[in-house]
């Protein structure tokens, strides 16, 4: 059984490696976990001994099969809890992350399977992130940045990239959540901002930076 700390390392490496694809450097991990490189070196040695990752001195780490499975389960727990907090307890979507950071470490398979069922086996969390299933399978959605959308087209918001509370609160003001349909009404060339129409017909202007952080999918 892994400690909270070990679990946090595995999850950090998973995210930093883009779902276990690339190798991750000591410094990247240290930065992400707000710790020091020397600490990371010690920890990755330990995780390598547990066969959760492959470690090549001076060249970073990459998750093993076992490491990926472990990471996916932690991500599954994190996202199920976030969904619970928003859907059942009435949290705002910008309030859930820190709590889920704690809840993701609770050890009980029964709990997670029952929670999953209670939530109706959701496929995405409140931020549109896919929830790995019981077997660690992640449903991939064909999505792209709103900044790449075409003028006049309708799309469904699928995910938000920036998870900061301020950004989430800003989007919440317009009920701009994953699942809602929007239409691009105008794209302003000089600064890349765009005017989009919301479900309630209201039109709002989104900066380039904002539209880049909203992912959308086609509205078939």
Distance CA 107, CA 87 (A): 22
Per CB under 8 A, 95 contacts its own copies: yes
Per CB under 8 A, 134 contacts its own copies: no
Closest to 148 (Cα-Cα) out of 192, 94, 113, 197: 192
Distance CA 151, CA 184 (A): 5
Closest to 188 (Cα-Cα) out of 170, 158, 172, 211: 211
Query: Do residues 193 and 149 touch, judged by C-beta distance below 8 A?
Result: no
Q: Select the span of 20-28, 97-105, 149-157, 170-178 touching its own copies (CB under 8 A).
A: 97-105
What is the β-pairing status of strands 181-187 and 154-160? antiparallel
Footprint on residues 38-57 left by DNA (CB under 7 A): 38-46, 55, 57
CB of 98 to DNA, least distance (A): 16
Query: Do residues 44 and 29 touch, judged by C-beta distance below 8 A?
Result: yes
Per CB under 8 A, 102 contacts its own copies: yes
Per CB under 5 A, 77 contacts Mn ion: no
Per CB under 8 A, 110 contacts its own copies: yes
Query: Do residues 142 and 215 touch, judged by C-beta distance below 8 A?
Result: no
- CB nearer to Mn ion: give 50 or 97: 97
Per CB under 7 A, 3 contacts DNA: yes
Residue 89 interacts with, from its own copies, DNA, Mn ion, none (CB under 5-8 Å by kind): its own copies
Q: Which residues bind its own copies (CB under 8 A)?
A: 85, 88-91, 95, 98-99, 102-103, 106-108, 110-111, 114-115, 118
């Amino acid at each position: 059984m892994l400690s909270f700390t070990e679990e946090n390392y595995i999850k950090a490496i998973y995210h930093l490696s883009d779902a276990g694809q690339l190798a991750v450097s000591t410094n990247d991990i240290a930065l992400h976990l707000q710790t020091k490189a020397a600490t990371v070196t010690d920890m990755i040695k330990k995780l390598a001994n547990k066969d959760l990752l492959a470690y090549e001195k001076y060249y970073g780490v990459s998750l093993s099969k076992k490491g990926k499975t472990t990471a996916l389960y932690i991500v599954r727990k994190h996202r199920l809890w976030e969904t619970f907090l928003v859907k059942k307890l009435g949290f705002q979507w910008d309030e859930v992350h820190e709590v889920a950071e704690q809840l993701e470490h609770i050890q009980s398979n029964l709990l997670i399977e029952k929670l999953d069922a209670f939530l109706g086996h959701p496929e995405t969390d409140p931020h549109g992130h896919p929830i790995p299933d019981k077997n660690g399978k992640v449903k991939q959605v064909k999505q792209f940045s709103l900044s790449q959308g075409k003028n006049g087209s309708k799309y469904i918001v699928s995910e938000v990239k920036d998870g900061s509370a301020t950004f989430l609160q800003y989007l919440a003001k317009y009920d701009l959540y994953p699942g809602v349909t929007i239409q691009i009404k105008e794209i302003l060339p000089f600064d890349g901002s765009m005017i989009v129409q919301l479900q309630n017909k209201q039109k709002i202007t989104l900066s380039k930076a904002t539209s880049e952080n909203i992912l959308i999918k086609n509205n078939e």
